[in-house]
Chains A and B, each alone.
Chain A
Amino acid sequence: MQLNDSPQAAAAQPLSGCRVLERSRTVAAAYAGRLLAAMGARVVMLEPPGGSPLRHAAPLLDDTGESALFAYLSVGKRSLVCDPASPAARAVLERELDRADILIDDTPVNARAAQGLDPETVGSRFPQLVHVSVLPFGSTGPKAGWDGEEVNMVHAGGEGFLLPNGLSNELFPDRAPLKIYGHFGGYQAGCTAALCALSAWWAVPQGGGQYVDVSVQDAVLSVGAFALQRLGDGSLEHRKSRRFRYGGVFEAQDGFIELLTLEDRQWSSLVDLLEQPAWAQDEALRDPLERSRRGDEINGHVREWMARHQVEDIVRRAQELGVPAAKYRTPAEVMHGEHERERGLFAPATLESGQQAEVLVAPFQFRCTPLEGGGRVPPLDEMAQEAAR
C-alpha cells in the first residue's frame, strides 16, 4: 500500500517533487488536486476547522456514511486544518504557501482579501508561486460574483440545453433537458485548472509565478466548442435535432447498445451485422446522404433487429466486422471489466473508516513510470496530528 507521503513510492512519478496546496469547497478544485496527486504531486488540502464540505457531499456510503465523492477526490492527498480568517492560522497558510509550487483555490472572489488570498497579495508575497483560481464563472468578468452548482454550470456552458438527444429525447420529447451524471462540468474545469497550473509552472523558470483564472462555465463551453462553430455555420443546435440520423442508443434483449457508423465501409459492415436484410439491399442506400434522409426508417429496422439479439453477441460480432458498437456498461461492469483489470485502472484505497475500497487511479497511464495509484483518504488535519505526536 502506498503511503500518501512516501518519498520512495513517489520518486519516480511524473510530478515527483511538485508541491500543491489545495483549498477546495467544490469538485472542480478538488479534482484538479486529485489529478495532480495521482501523478505524484504532494497535495495538501487546507481544510476549514469543520473539514471540507466535500467530506459530506453525496453520494454517501450506506454503512459508514462516508462520502464516496470525497473519497474519490481526496485519495492520495494530505489534510491540514487552517482557517485563514483567523490570524493565528494565517502563519500556517504563509508557511504552506512558501513551500508550495502551485496553489489551487476556489475561495469566492469577495471572501479572498479577508483571508489573504487575493491574487495581488499572494503574488507579491510568493512571486514564484503558480496561483490557480477555479470558480463557477471565473474570478473576472461581469458575472464573477455569480455562483452555480453542477446543474447550473452544465447549462450555463451550453451542453445541458443539448441533452438528451437521440433515443431519450424521442421517448420523452416534452421533458426538461438533462444534466450529465455527477460533476461533469466540474471535472472539466478541474482538469483545465490542473493543465493550466502545469503550463504556468512550466514557465516559472523564465518568468516566475503568476495568477491563472479558470472557470467552470468556460470549461463546459470549451469541451462543447463544436456547437459554437455550428452557430457560425448558421445552425443553432437543439437536442431535438442534434441526433445522429441513424445509429445511437438501441435496446437489445438484455441491455443497451451504442452503435454509430460514420463511414461508408462501416455501413456495409453494419448491413453484414444485420445479416443482409432485404430492406438494406436498396441501391439508393449506398448514398450516405440518402441514408441520412431515411435515418428514421433505418433506425426502425435496426431497433427491430437489436430487440431480438443479446448485447454481448451483437457487440462481439460488430467489433469483428468493424462496426463501432459498445455496450452501455453499469459501474459494476466497468469496475470488474476484464479490460480495466488488465490495464490496472483501479487500485486499493483505505477509506477514513478503515474500510477497503477500490478507486480509479487516473484516466491516463505513463508507460515508462506507471502511476502508483490508491492510497488512503486523509483523516481531517492528519498532518497537524502527526506533527504533534
Chain B
Amino acid sequence: MNTNSPLAGVRIADFTIHAAGPYCTHLLSQLGAECIKIESRTRPDAFRKPHAVYGRMQAATFDQVSANKLSVRLNLKQPEAIVLAKRLVAVSDIAAESFRAGVMKRLGLGFDDLRAAKPDIVMLSLSSCGQNGPDSHFAGYAPLFGAWGGLGWMSGYSDGPPMEMRHVMDHSAGVHAALATMAALHQRRRTGQAQHVDLAAREVASAMIGDALLMASLGATPVRPGNADLAMAPHGVYATSQPDRWLTLAVRNDAEWHALARVLGQGGTDPRFATAQGRLRHREELDQLLTQWLAACNADETAERLQQAGVCAHVSWNMQDIASDRHLRERGAVTEVSAPDIPTRLAVGAPARFARTNDVGIRRLTPALGQDEDYVFGELLGLDSAQRADLQTREVIL
C-alpha cells in the first residue's frame, strides 16, 4: 500500500476497458488507490490488442491508462467467475466498469448485485450515452462523444465542417468520472451508503460547451468561432519564420497590445487598433498585420520575450517539445518510466503536485495479464493453490 498517497487504502475492482474508463482508474491509482484490473485471456482489454486503423498492427496505447494496476484473470462468462468477481467487489471500495449500459446487469454484476455483495459499494458506470435514456444502448468512441455532445459542432474553422475530437474526449470523460467517484466516496464516508455514479461521455462533451447551451436555451444560436475570440484581438495562432512553427497569442487589453507592438519592434500603431473595440472590429486587418510582423520572427524566442513583457504567448508545441521541456519534467507531468525488459520511455505522470501525500504518479508499468493473482486471489480472497489450479482447469480463471 502506498501509505503516503492521498488515496492510500482505497481499493478498486476495475472492470473498465478501452480508454475512458481505464484512464479514470489510472488517475485514481496514481493518487494511491489500489486498482485491480479484471480481464481474461479470451477477452483482454481491447487496448492490449493491435489497432490496424492507425496503419500498423501494434498495441499502442495501453501503458498510458494501465500503469500501476494489478492484473487478474476472470472469465466472466462462467457463473463461478461472477461469484469471485463479487467477492473481489466485497473487499473493494469502488467497482468501476465501462461496458455498454445493461451488460453488467446481464453478467449478474449490476448495481443491485454489487450492493448485495458490498452494502456500501461505490459503483462507477462510464459509458458513451449513460445508463438510461433512448440512446443508452448506443455504442461509441471518442469522436462520437464530441459529435453527440455538441463540442464537435462548436469546434472547427468558422467556414468549415465540425471538428473531430480525439482521445482527449475519452480522457476528459475519465477525469470527470474520477471526480464523481471521489465525491461518492466522500458521501459514503459521511452516510455509509452505496452510490451508483453514471457518467455519459457525450455529456462531458456537452459540459465543455455549457455557455453555448445556456445561450441555446434562450433561443440564441451560438456560432463556431474557430481561433477567434469574442473579446480578445489579436487572438489566435500565427505563422512565424519557421515552417509549421506556430505562435499562439492572446491580447487581453491595451497595455498588452502596446507591449506586443514594442516587443515586435513596431512603434506608432494604427489608430484603428488603439482600443479593444477597434481591434475587434478590425480583427481581420489586425491578423494580417500580425502575420506580417511575425513572418520574420523566431517563434520560441518571440514567445519568451512576449511572456517577459506580460503578453500571453506560447509556441504550438508538438510532443517532442513537450518531451524536452524542463518545466514539465520538474513538475513530474512528464516522467521517465522503465522496466527490466523495457527501454526507458516517457509517460505522462502525476496529475498534480501534492505537498504532503506526495507519493503520486506512476509507480510501476502495465501489468502482464494475470500477474497479480497470488496477491489478489491468494491473499485477498483466500484461495489456496489447489483451488486456483482447479479454477484454471475449468477455465473460470482464464
A301 interfacial contact with B, CB 8 Å: no
A365–B157 CA distance with the chains assembled, in angstroms: 33
Q: In this complex, what residue of A is CB-closest to B210?
A: A72
Which one of A16, A58, A142, A214 contacts B326 once the chains associate, using CB atoms below 8 Å? A142
Which one of A155, A181, A230, A349 contacts B209 once the chains associate, using CB atoms below 8 Å? A181
B330-A141 in contact (CB<8A): yes
A202-B186 in contact (CB<8A): yes
Q: Are A72 and B333 CB-contacts (below 8 A) given A245-B55, A359-B217, A363-B200?
A: no
Most buried by B among A146, A181, A188, A233: A181
Chain A proximity mask over B36-58: 1 for CB below 8 Å, otherwise 0? 00000000000000011111011
A143–B315 CA distance with the chains assembled, in angstroms: 14
A222 interfacial contact with B, CB 8 Å: yes
* Count of residues in A whose CB is under 8 Å from the partner chain: 157
B116 interfacial contact with A, CB 8 Å: no
Chain B proximity mask over A230-261: 1 for CB below 8 Å, otherwise 0? 11110011100010111111010000111010
Q: Are A362 and B351 CB-contacts (below 8 A) given A194-B179, A346-B217?
A: no
A165–B330 CA distance with the chains assembled, in angstroms: 31
B222 interfacial contact with A, CB 8 Å: yes
Q: In this complex, what residue of A is CB-closest to B304?
A: A146
Which one of B53, B131, B162, B210 contacts A249 once the chains associate, using CB atoms below 8 Å? B162
A256–B164 CA distance with the chains assembled, in angstroms: 11
- How far does the Cβ of B283 sit from chain A's closest Cβ, in whole Å? 13
Stretch from A2-10, A80-88, A326-334 at the B interface: A326-334
Q: B327 — which chain A residues lie within 8 A by C-beta?
A: 137, 141-143
Q: B55 — which chain A residues lie within 8 A by C-beta?
A: 245, 292-293
A280 interfacial contact with B, CB 8 Å: no
A151-B250 in contact (CB<8A): yes
A335-B200 in contact (CB<8A): no
Interface residues of B in 320-374 (CB under 8 A from A): 320-323, 326-328, 330-331, 333-334, 345-348, 351-357
A250–B206 CA distance with the chains assembled, in angstroms: 21
Q: B222 — which chain A residues lie within 8 A by C-beta?
A: 59, 331
Q: A242 — which chain B residues lie within 8 A by C-beta?
A: 166
B208 interfacial contact with A, CB 8 Å: yes
B residues contacting A by CB (< 8 A) are: 6-8, 10, 19, 23, 27, 31, 51-55, 57-58, 60-61, 63-65, 111, 129-141, 143-144, 146-157, 160-168, 171-172, 175-180, 182-187, 189-190, 193-200, 203-204, 206-218, 220-222, 224-227, 229-232, 235-239, 246, 248-250, 252, 307, 310, 312-323, 326-328, 330-331, 333-334, 345-348, 351-357
Query: Could you jot down 24 A-B contacts, CB within 8 Å?
Result: A14-B184, A35-B179, A59-B222, A152-B314, A155-B314, A162-B166, A196-B6, A203-B357, A210-B355, A213-B352, A213-B353, A217-B333, A222-B348, A224-B167, A226-B61, A231-B323, A232-B345, A245-B55, A292-B54, A331-B216, A332-B221, A334-B206, A346-B213, A366-B195
Q: 5 closest pairs, A vs B, by CB?
A: A58-B230, A149-B250, A223-B171, A358-B217, A232-B345
